[in-house]
Structure 1
Amino acid sequence: MSELVANIVGSAAAVCSITSFAPQGIKIWKEKDASAVSLKTYALTVICFILWVVYGVMTEAWPVTIANACALAMASGVLFMKWRFRDDAAKAAHS
């Protein structure tokens, strides 16, 4: 397989990984409700991306590092909103 094809596939995978968190993040932001989001799942996902970033730095695999750092930022955003909107959802449930 040519290096160009491998780079195209890797770039497409990185874009998909990074943008896969956008729909969930946008939905939470618009609705100010993250009650349907699993805290454990996103916490584990953030830990996973942290480990991938560390691995990428340790091995100097910069495409891995950059792609996973971007995905880490997106997943962390969802996790932050899960924390941020937790009180709003609890208040709405008790109203």
Structure 2
Amino acid sequence: MNPVELLGLFAAACTTSCFVPQVVQVWRTHSTQDISLGMYALLCVGLLSWLVYGLLIQSAPIILSNAFTLLLASGVLLMKLRFERAGQLQHKP
């Protein structure tokens, strides 16, 4: 692996790992009230697009970072949908 790809992998690790605390916090608290549904939905579409792009150009840093980030962001998005729906069902008269 060349130095440019190593730099890409390092950058990918830094930006991808920033999602881990959010996933952990949402999982522990079941609170997604302050998380934007639109932002996470659009983020997931963008990450999927980057992943496909990475596959087409066969770039390991782009593939790995976007696959893992898509997994984390999708987890937050799914928890938001699940926890908010559960909260709405509990508050129905």
Instruction: Give the alignment's TM-score, normalised by structure 2.
Output: 0.83
Paired residue total: 92
TM-aligned CA deviation for residue 92 of structure 1: 6.6
Rounded to whole Å, the distance in 2 between the matches of 1:88 and 1:52 is: 32
Q: Which residue of 2 aligns with 1:23?
A: 21
Rounded to whole Å, the distance in 2 between the matches of 1:15 and 1:93 is: 40
Selected match of 1:33 from 24, 31, 34? 31
TM-aligned CA deviation for residue 91 of structure 1: 5.5
Divergent runs of 4+, >2 A: 6-9, 87-94
Rounded to whole Å, the distance in 1 between the matches of 2:10 and 2:29 is: 30
Q: Which runs of 5+ in 1 are unaligned?
A: none
User: What are the residue-to-residue correspondences of 1:1-95 with 2, within 5 Å?
Assistant: 3-4=2-3, 6-90=4-88
Q: Which runs of 5+ in 2 are unaligned?
A: none
TM-aligned CA deviation for residue 76 of structure 1: 0.6
Alignment identity in percent? 33
TM-aligned CA deviation for residue 87 of structure 1: 2.5
SS at match of 1:85: helix
Deviations 1:34-83 (A, max 9, x none): 11110000001100100001101111223211211111111111111111
Instruction: Give the alignment's TM-score, normalised by structure 1.
Output: 0.82
1:14–1:67 contact (8 Å) kept in structure 2 = yes
SS at match of 2:35: coil
Corresponding letter in the other structure for 2:28:
K
